[in-house]
């Protein structure tokens, strides 16, 4: 089968991804094999390719927003049958026994493994998944539209929850890409006014079209303070500036697996019982809740499709913000 592999991470200009012929994988007892129909392209894939995050082994196939058809079922699997369309997210597995797992925090499990990082992912024609970590997908979504829900959507949903957003509160989104454009739609569904802070003119237009109450830059004066905020841009310099947007008692969540250093900041930025917290991975419960909500509200991502053979092109376009919404590979 064909698969894109990261052999030696580095700048995209050095072509760290290579399309190779590799053996088809086969499902273990508790696994299913998926024939990939679509795979979203995430900033995490970009960070992996360029060496900003380091996988435990190389080479590795990126991709963790996988829509596929079950075409091989392990002997112990009862949840799925051959021919079902399912979704494979970032969380590949967790131990189920540690303190974190028992508390419902499997996203923090020290033995957690992640799709397209610890194990080969969906920039390929076939991929293996632990059956108990695979999700059923909402009806009525085509393959390419379903793919971004599996990371951009799920982690955006968890970010809103970690920011403690309540219906009717004012939400601030700092940075506006694949995850933020879905989080905005969820927040609007919860009747929350949304202020979007982004430098990109096209992203401002998209945010306004999706119902943002205000769009501008961090240097601009928003209509007022925000109750809850989420930083999506992986730029640590934005954190103190974003805290200044938050009302006393409010919360700022950071949705990033990699971020440049956060500079030292004065106590006034966080004084007033403001909360600053990170968002780390997501749980199966997050996935089930979000995908159910996405189906109920008819959530529709903005997607730009690329053939699998152009994965490096898709990553370059993502790096340089050449599209709005999400990129999706279609084998």
- CA–CA distance, 304 with 329 (Å, rounded to integer): 9
- CA–CA distance, 309 with 89 (Å, rounded to integer): 22
- CA–CA distance, 238 with 111 (Å, rounded to integer): 32
Answer whether residue 188 shows pLDDT above 90. yes
Can you name the CATH fold of 154-279?
A: Rossmann fold (3.40.50)
Kindly tell me the sign of the dihedral angle through the C-alpha atoms of 18, 20, 23, 28.
Answer: positive
268-308 pLDDT, tens digit per residue, is: 999 999 999 999 999 999 999 999 999 999 999 999 999 99
198-256 pLDDT, tens digit per residue, is: 999 999 999 999 999 999 999 999 999 999 999 999 999 999 999 999 999 999 999 99
Q: Is the separation of the CB atoms in 252 and 231 below 8 Å?
A: yes
80-114 pLDDT, tens digit per residue, is: 999 999 999 999 999 999 999 999 999 999 999 99
Q: Is the separation of the CB atoms in 159 and 153 below 8 Å?
A: no
- Indicate where the chain has its CATH 3.40.50.720 domain(s): 154-279
pLDDT of residue 149: 98
| Cross-strand partners of 229 | 172, 252
C-alpha separations of 101 from 5, 110, 175, 283, 285 in Å: 31, 9, 31, 10, 12
- CA–CA distance, 321 with 274 (Å, rounded to integer): 31
pLDDT of residue 128: 98
pLDDT of residue 139: 87
49-81 pLDDT, tens digit per residue, is: 999 999 999 999 999 999 999 999 999 999 999
- CA–CA distance, 134 with 137 (Å, rounded to integer): 10
What is the residue-averaged pLDDT of the chain?
Answer: 97
The contacts of residue 102 (CB under 8 Å, 6+ apart) are none
- CA–CA distance, 320 with 11 (Å, rounded to integer): 13
4-17 pLDDT, tens digit per residue, is: 999 999 999 999 99
- Indicate where the chain has its CATH 3.90.180.10 domain(s): 2-150+282-330
- CA–CA distance, 17 with 313 (Å, rounded to integer): 10
Please state, as a whole number, how many other Cβ atoms lie within 10 Å of the Cβ of residue 107.
21
Place of tokens 């086969």: 26
Shortest CA distance to 64 belongs to which of 125, 148, 139? 148
pLDDT of residue 260: 95
pLDDT of residue 270: 95
Instruction: Give the percent of the chain with pLDDT over 70.
Output: 100
Q: Which CATH number fits domain 2-150+282-330: 3.30.230.70, 3.40.640.10, 3.40.50.150, 3.90.180.10?
A: 3.90.180.10
pLDDT of residue 194: 98
pTM for the model: 0.96
Tell me the average pLDDT across 128-135: 98
| Cross-strand partners of 253 | 230, 277
């Amino acid at each position: 089968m064909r698969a894109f592999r990261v052999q030696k991470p580095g700048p995209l200009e050095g072509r760290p991804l290579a399309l190779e012929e590799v053996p088809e994988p086969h499902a273990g007892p508790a696994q299913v094999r998926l024939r990939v129909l679509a795979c979203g392209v995430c900033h995490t894939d970009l960070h992996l390719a360029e060496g900003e995050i380091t996988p435990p082994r190389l080479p590795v196939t990126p991709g963790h927003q996988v829509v596929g058809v079950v075409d091989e079922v392990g002997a112990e699997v009862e949840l799925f049958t051959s021919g079902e369309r399912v979704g494979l997210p970032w969380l590949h597995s967790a131990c189920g026994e540690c303190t974190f797992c028992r508390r419902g925090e499997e996203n923090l499990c020290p033995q957690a493994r992640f799709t397209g990082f610890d194990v080969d992912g969906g920039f390929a024609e076939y991929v293996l998944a632990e059956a108990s970590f695979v999700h059923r997908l909402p009806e009525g979504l085509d393959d390419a539209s379903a793919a971004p829900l599996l990371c951009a959507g799920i982690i955006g949903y968890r970010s809103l929850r970690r920011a403690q957003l309540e219906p009717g509160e004012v939400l601030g989104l700092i940075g506006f890409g694949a995850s933020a454009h879905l989080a905005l739609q969820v927040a609007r569904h919860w009747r929350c006014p949304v202020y979007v802070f982004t430098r990109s003119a096209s992203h401002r237009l998209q945010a306004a079209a999706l119902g943002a109450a205000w769009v501008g830059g961090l240097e601009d004066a928003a209509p007022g303070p925000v109750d809850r905020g989420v930083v999506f841009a992986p730029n640590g310099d934005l954190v103190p500036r974003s805290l200044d947007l938050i009302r006393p008692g409010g919360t700022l969540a950071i949705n990033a697996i990699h971020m440049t250093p956060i500079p030292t900041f004065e106590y006034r930025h966080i004084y007033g019982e403001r909360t600053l917290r990170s968002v780390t991975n997501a749980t199966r419960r997050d996935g089930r809740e979000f995908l159910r909500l996405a189906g109920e509200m008819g959530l529709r991502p903005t997607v730009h499709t690329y053939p699998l053979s152009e994965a490096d092109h898709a990553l370059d376009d993502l790096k340089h913000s050449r599209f709005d919404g999400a990129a999706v590979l279609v084998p």
